[in-house]
Amino acid sequence: MALEEYRRKRDFTKSPEPKGKDLPARKAPRKALFFCVQKHLASHLHYDFRIEHNGTLLSWAVPKGPSLDPKTKRLAMHVEDHPIEYGTFEGVIPSGYGAGLVMLWDRGTWTPEVDDVDKALAKGDLKFTLEGFKLKGSWVLVRTRGYSRSRDRDRDAARGESSGDGRSWLLIKHRDDWAGDLDITQFAPLSVKSERDFPEILADDNPDIWRSNRPVEGGATGAMLRSIIEEAAKLKAARIQDLPGRRQKSKVRSKGKRPKAGK
Ligand code: MN
């Protein structure tokens, strides 16, 4: 006991010094940790909600994105932890797992509203506060028992259907000043890192990357990706036109190819 020696040395019937109370061990302070939401256009558009915990990013894929309306519970599929550095990534995943576009849609800090995050996760009920650019105030992640509609759980997750393997959670906004019926994904669709949309993000990289083999072809997502690729290619072409080096070059060339008089 930490105060034993202090007490052994004193006679509190004779000294005005405090005897001291035996307080329970102080619980870990609730400190602010990193969180982010990455808008990810892969096989389907979804929002990856990530919170820093024990040196990694705990991650949930939220097919419809977060809702500020406490009545709207959004399915959140618990996925594998991601490295902390991943939390500021924005760009193009050319191929393989998660191939597509990643936009840093929101970032900031999260603060657990519980003393023991691991215990809350094990229980399947984690309450926390967000301080992001778009998402703020009190939220909860609650694990659901869910159900399994098919054996293809990844496909279910991508489609926003829950499965019964304990990976299904719900992301719910608590009622507070930051709740409301504003559709935040529609109202604030752009990157908090670059203020850009998907076509600009792709134009920064290589818009031709999926010319022959797109990560997704069919359906609404395929159509969305096709129009993004088209728009990105136009943006890139326009940027190349505007490059100062290019303008100078063409001036030089036109000088050399001056039309002859009389032609
Ligand atoms: Mn994802």
What's the whole-number mean pLDDT along residues 100-121? 96
Cα of 182 to ligand 1 centre, how many Å? 24
Q: What is the pLDDT of residues 114-128, one digit of tens each?
A: 999 999 999 999 999
pLDDT at 156: 53
Cα of 263 to ligand 1 centre, how many Å? 61
Q: Where are the domains of the chain?
A: 4-194, 197-253
Neighbours of ion ligand 1 (CB under 5 A): 40, 48
Cα of 138 to ligand 1 centre, how many Å? 24
What's the whole-number mean pLDDT along residues 131-156? 77
Least confident of 19-33, 84-98, 141-155, 196-210: 141-155
Please say if the pLDDT value at position 258 is more than 60. Answer: no
Cα of 129 to ligand 1 centre, how many Å? 22
Cα of 86 to ligand 1 centre, how many Å? 11
Supply the pTM of this predicted model. 0.77
Cα of 61 to ligand 1 centre, how many Å? 6
Q: What is the pLDDT of residues 29-83, one digit of tens each?
A: 567 899 999 999 999 999 999 999 999 999 999 999 999 999 999 999 999 999 9
Distance from C-alpha of 65 to C-alpha of 52, rounded to nearest angstrom:
19
Least confident of 140-154, 183-197, 217-231, 243-257: 243-257
How much is the mean pLDDT over the chain? Answer: 85
> pLDDT-based confidence at 148, cuts 50/70/90?
very low
- Whether residue 198 contacts residue 103, with contact meaning beta carbons closer than 8 Å, is answered with yes
More confident residue, 82 or 145: 82
Least confident of 11-20, 36-45, 200-209: 11-20
Cα of 63 to ligand 1 centre, how many Å? 9
Sequence-ordered list of residues with C-beta below 8 angstroms from that of 182, at least 6 positions apart, any chain: 68
Cα of 15 to ligand 1 centre, how many Å? 65
Cα of 247 to ligand 1 centre, how many Å? 40
Please say if the pLDDT value at position 23 is more than 80. Answer: no
What's the whole-number mean pLDDT along residues 212-219? 87
